[in-house]
Amino acid sequence: MNSQTNLPIEDMVKWRRHLHENPELSFHEVETAKYIYQLLKTFPNLELTTPTENSVVAILKGAKPGKTIALRADIDALPIVEEADVAFPSQNEGVMHACGHDTHTAMLLGACKVLTSMQEKIAGTVKFIFQPAEEVPPGGAKFLVEAGVMKDVDLVFGIHIFPKIPVGVVAIRTGALTAAADIFELKIQGVGSHGSTPELAIDPILVGVEIITNLNNIISRNIAAFDNAVLSIGEFTSGNSANVIPDTAKIQGTVRTNDPAVRTLVRKRIEEIIEHVTKMYGASYELNYIMGYSPVVNDSEATELVRKAALKVVGEKGLITAPQMMGGEDFSAYTDVVPGSFFVVGGGTAEEGCGYMNHHPKFKINEGALAVGAEMEIQLITDLLINDEE
């Protein structure tokens, strides 16, 4: 099958640009969800549901019974001021589709439009999931799973676009693709004093420096060299005057791991270090450790299906192995309960102006990638639910 000529390319570009101009933050995608819902209402043969706030799930039931396959796109944007050189910049100041979720949504809308016209050939059911709040834990996927969206699903597939990879390239990986993404928030309570009398203080800045120094030794001294783990401090704030020792300090950080045992060990060591260092200096603390997304683990059989689809869509030259990533993705909420595969499509090269990675204010993609993503989704459904021999 070659659905390329049937793809609504101009519509996909228009949809993507509308979404790009009107980004909304996680858990606030009200107008985005309305826009998607109204578009889907114009497609034939769909049942539309809104199982959670700001989500849209479109169900396409084939003419014959069969498996249920879910395809997912995320719809939220990021709190970033756009600096990308595009003719359709964000009109929502301080909010930007800097991760490509606008492209994921346009891809899935395009695939949906094509597949709805093939309803008579489909033996099974397709669920098109337009999911809010991928960027902010606990994430929107968790609530969709709790709402029962995956109960009858046999396989689930998702796409992520990345720049610095040519359009026409699909990257796949079996096993762990992303990392568990945990966050810790620490408040250190000391005793303030005048800068001239440090002996009367319990300096939370000094305590914080000691804690951070020791936290940064966890990866090099407690984790085996062949195990993946990252610990990064993103915030250390305290005080507002040159001659005042403050009484509190705040530290925030993130932990990324691929293995559950390593994840548990890192958390244990963080808690131990904070407890002992604060006790040593006579300070107290409040620690909020947030267990974020689990790793996306791609099922081997599902990934083989993606590989076969990619060979048909982009050919052997366009198929590569995706590296293991330390970023987090709440697609893991789906793969924790249903076999599936999450794969990458190339979004363009640096020479094309697509040289800034996701979450950068100059993030930009080549819109030619929209067709590749939609083609992959259509091909997966064709391979799984359509028998052209009949």
pLDDT digits (tens, 9 = 90+) for 7-33: 999 999 999 999 999 999 999 999 999
What pLDDT does residue 388 have?
64
pLDDT digits (tens, 9 = 90+) for 54-112: 999 999 999 999 999 999 999 999 999 999 999 999 999 999 999 999 999 999 999 99
pLDDT for 232: 97
Q: How far apart (Å, rounded) are the C-alpha atoms in residues 295 and 327?
A: 9
Question: Residues with catalytic annotation?
Answer: 76, 134
Measured from the Cβ of residue 240, the count of other Cβ atoms closer than 10 Å reads 7
The predicted pLDDT at position 387 comes to 80
Q: Is the pLDDT of residue 2 over 50?
A: no
Nearest to 380 by CA among 126, 196, 139: 126
Neighbours of 356 (CB within 10 A): 17
Give the pLDDT band (50/70/90) at residue 4.
Answer: low
Asked if residue 140 lies in contact with residue 129, where contact means CB atoms within 8 angstroms, the answer is: no
CATH top class, domain 9-176+296-385 = alpha beta
Task: Establish whether 160 is an annotated binding residue.
Answer: yes
What pLDDT was estimated at residue 187?
98
Write down the pLDDT at residue 390: 46
What is the per-residue pLDDT for 1? 41
For residues 102 and 106, give the distance between their C-alpha atoms in angstroms, rounded to a whole number: 6
pLDDT tens-digit series, residues 360-380: 999 999 999 999 999 999 999
Q: Is 276 annotated as a binding residue?
A: no
359 known member of a binding site: yes
Give tens-digit pLDDT for 103-151: 999 999 999 999 999 999 999 999 999 999 999 999 999 999 999 999 9
In the chain the beta strands, taken as DSSP E runs, fall at: 46-49, 56-61, 64-74, 123-131, 155-162, 170-172, 175-176, 180-189, 193-194, 229-237, 244-245, 248-257, 284-293, 297-298, 319-321, 340-346
In angstroms and rounded to an integer, the radius of gyration of the C-alpha atoms of the chain is 24
Does residue 3 have a pLDDT over 60? no
Average predicted confidence (pLDDT) for the chain: 96
What is the per-residue pLDDT across 162-193, written as a single tens digit (0 to 9) for each? 999 999 999 999 999 999 999 999 999 999 99
User: Mind listing the pLDDT tens digit for each residue in 226-279?
Assistant: 999 999 999 999 999 999 999 999 999 999 999 999 999 999 999 999 999 999
Residue with tokens 């606990």: 138
Residues 30-50 have pLDDT tens digits of 999 999 999 999 999 999 999
Report domain extents, the chain: 9-176+296-385, 180-292
pTM: 0.91
360 annotated as belonging to a binding site for a ligand: no
CATH number of 180-292: 3.30.70.360
99 appears as a binding residue in the annotation:
yes
